Amino acid sequence: DRALHIMVQIARGVARAHDLDIIHRDIKPENIFLVRRDDGSDLVKVLDFGIAKSRQDSRLTTQGELFGTPQYMAPERITGKDTGGSSDIYALGVVFFEILTGELPFTAPDVATFFIKHMEETPRPTRSLNTRVPEALDDLVRRMLAKSPADRPVDAHRIHQDLVTVINEREAAPPPSAALPAPPAEYG
């Protein structure tokens, strides 16, 4: 349940950045901070937008530049065909995989091998490493790690909704809500 609460808040943060046309481009555990609230619950903060790309501000890094952490890079970032927010969705999938299993979806001895694995290999199901992961959550992470951006969830709002659904199915309380805009109507 704690992992789900953390993932919901990460999705909220990324959704808000994307709403502002900012693509993080370096989502990884080191850029996600947990702060303890007065009630003992976790408050998640997504930090370090140092290599972010903005559709509104050309002073931030631009498409075609290869910056980031190889273990968390989407295939399209590696090939220089970054399509925007979907590359953050992939990186979130890597982070969620790691939260749920304690392992990265891929291991490699060097950067080039990481790149090849991100572009060609299918990661193991999270449930093969942690049987307590609900099937719906395992499926969400699998979709987030799809090689093609078109096969990933449409945005971080969709991920947030799917995570809340998993929490509700577990009959657990969702984390305290920040001011997250309502998702588009098609999410029901």
Q: Is the dihedral of CA 81, 103, 24, 1 positive or negative?
A: positive
| Contact status, residue 43 vs residue 24, Cβ threshold 8 Å | no
Sign of CA dihedral 71, 74, 76, 77: negative
26 part of the active site: yes
| Cβ neighbourhood burial of 183 (10 Å; 0-12, 13-18, 19+) | middle
Please name the helix (run of DSSP H) or strand (run of DSSP E) that holds residue 17, with its range, or none. helix 2-19
Residue whose pair of structure tokens reads 């577990």 in the numeric block: 170
Closest of 4, 27, 28, 2 to residue 17, by C-alpha: 27
Distance of CA 64 to the CA centre of its chain: 21
* Cα separation, 45 vs 51, whole angstroms: 17
Cross-strand pairs, 43: 35
Task: Kindly name the residue from 19, 26, 38, 139 that is annotated as catalytic.
Answer: 26
Positions marked active-site: 26
